[in-house]
Amino acid sequence: MNTEESLNYAINLWKELMDVGHVPARRAVTFFAGLLLKHNKADVCLEILSTVQNQQYTTIRNLKVLTLTKLNRLDDTIPILKSILQIEAGAQVLTFNKDVLDTLGEQLEKENNTELLSEFKHLMKIFEDEKHISDLSLDQQLTSEITTRMWKQDRNQNRFQSSRPFRPRPNLQRQQVTLHDME
């Protein structure tokens, strides 16, 4: 699955989809982006990720942070990390994958940028306290089975019923217009 052949197939498929104006589903985009990262094509990956309208999905956020880390654009990762602290998600806790954060932390230490490293450590403390770190790896998340939500039985049965009584439409006479009539 992680072969040069599969990468070339995905790239060609992406080009075809873009040529006809179709943007693939987020799951397909993230899977393709993960494949690009595995083949050290972070610059293309960033371009692909930018096609997703909602940049706050967990897979998109994680892939973007990892991609920017690989491109050594470390200062661009901090606003993405901060973004989950500014979003009202209700009962849901927005997360980052631990492996992605570890990779970023290692790169920040390697670069020895004290200001960014300090801010990163501060964010990590908040993430740990507020449980914004997922133990699930990015690979596990990208390759996880797609699950569907089950509707409650009674909800599903009444799905197309309305509270209004059914009233048939009056039988209207429609005139059929042909191309010959339009001349």
Distances (CA, A) of 94 to 81, 90, 180: 10, 10, 61
Domain of residue 84, residue span: 4-145
What's the pTM?
0.77
Residue 158 maps to a domain:
no
23 or 117: which leads in pLDDT:
117
Q: Averaged over 37-57, what is the pLDDT?
A: 93
Residue 156 maps to a domain:
no
Query: Each residue of 87-98: pLDDT tens digit?
Result: 766 667 889 999
pLDDT of residue 171: 57
| 85, two tokens | 């602290």
pLDDT of residue 46: 96
Q: How many domains does the chain have?
A: 1
Rg (CA), the chain: 24
Residue 139 maps to a domain:
yes
Question: Residue 74 above 60 pLDDT?
Answer: yes
Residue 118 maps to a domain:
yes
Which of 25, 129, 141 lies closest to 85 in space, CA to CA? 129
The answer to whether the CB of 51 falls within 8 A of the CB of 29 is yes
